[in-house]
Amino acid sequence: MVSSILGDKPMSTARRYNRTAKKYIEVPQPDVVLQYNRNMGGVDRFDQNLNHLRISVGGKKWYWQIITWLLDASMQNAWQLHKKAGGSLTALEFRREVVCYLLMEAAAVSRNNSGSGRQTRPGEADLRYDNVGHYPVIRKNQRQVCKFDGCTTRCQVWCEKCNRCVCIYHFKDYHCR
């Protein structure tokens, strides 16, 4: 290891397991190694988590490894944000929720394009009631029945975030519990 700030002095000792003697022994440790081990954090943890739940679909194209790494890295970053926001899902549970959401979204889009009904997506209620970024937008060529329970008005007002048709009279009530 090379450092422009730290050297090998002061020398300290580290406790390591010796396989041949089958016991812990004290070994000398330079200060640069001690400081590195003490301050390692985000990048090392990121690499560890990334290798734990890596996408394992192989491909013959050279760029496929880059694409899968980018997907893994973005999932890891999203999970870290989820935890900081108070979420309690494990990394695996979080990945499963995201995949289920994306599959349901793709199925809803294909059903809407074929003219049949739509199922409720996982996490849709949380998105609907988060009180952030719900703005009414008029779509002139898309007229549907209002999604508010009991309303039969056909309108062109859509929630920009939820992507749901909600008449202007029920827009606020639709986003409140």
Domain-embedded: residue 151: yes
Identify the residue whose tokens are 């010796």: 18
Return mean pLDDT, the chain: 82
pLDDT, one tens digit per residue, over 27-56 is: 998 888 888 777 777 777 788 788 888 888
Domain-embedded: residue 158: yes
Q: What is the mean pLDDT of residues 147-173?
A: 88
Indicate the range of 68-77, 86-95, 133-142 predicted with least confidence: 133-142
Backbone angles phi, psi at 157, to 5 degrees: -90, 125
* Tokens linked to 148: 């508010």
- Regarding predicted confidence, which is higher, 112 or 154? 154
pLDDT higher than threshold 80 for residue 159: yes
Classify 18 as helix, strand or coil.
strand
% of the chain exceeding 90 in pLDDT: 20
pLDDT higher than threshold 60 for residue 121: no
Burial state string for 157-172 with b = 16 or more CB within 10 A and e = fewer than 16: bbbeebebbbbeebbe
Are residue 34 and residue 88 in the same domain, yes or no? no
Domain-embedded: residue 46: no
Domain-embedded: residue 73: yes
Can you say whether residue 67 is alpha, beta or left, with left for phi > 0 and alpha for psi between -120 and 50 degrees?
Answer: alpha
pLDDT, one tens digit per residue, over 123-152 is: 566 677 777 788 898 888 888 899 888 888
Residues 91, 52: contact at Cβ < 8 Å?
Answer: yes
pLDDT higher than threshold 50 for residue 116: no
pTM: 0.47
pLDDT, one tens digit per residue, over 105-115 is: 777 666 655 55
The one-character DSSP state at 165 is: B
H-type alpha helices, 2-90:
31-39, 42-52, 64-84
Of 99, 122, 145, the residue at which a domain comes to its end is 122
Rounded to an integer, what distance in angstroms lies between the CA atom of residue 76 and that of residue 33? 27
Are residue 62 and residue 113 in the same domain, yes or no? yes
Are residue 111 and residue 155 in the same domain, yes or no? no
* Tokens linked to 172: 């606020």
Are residue 113 and residue 138 in the same domain, yes or no? no
Q: Which residues form the domain of 145?
A: 133-177
Are residue 117 and residue 141 in the same domain, yes or no? no
Domain tally for the chain?
3
Residue type, 173: D
Are residue 57 and residue 117 in the same domain, yes or no? yes
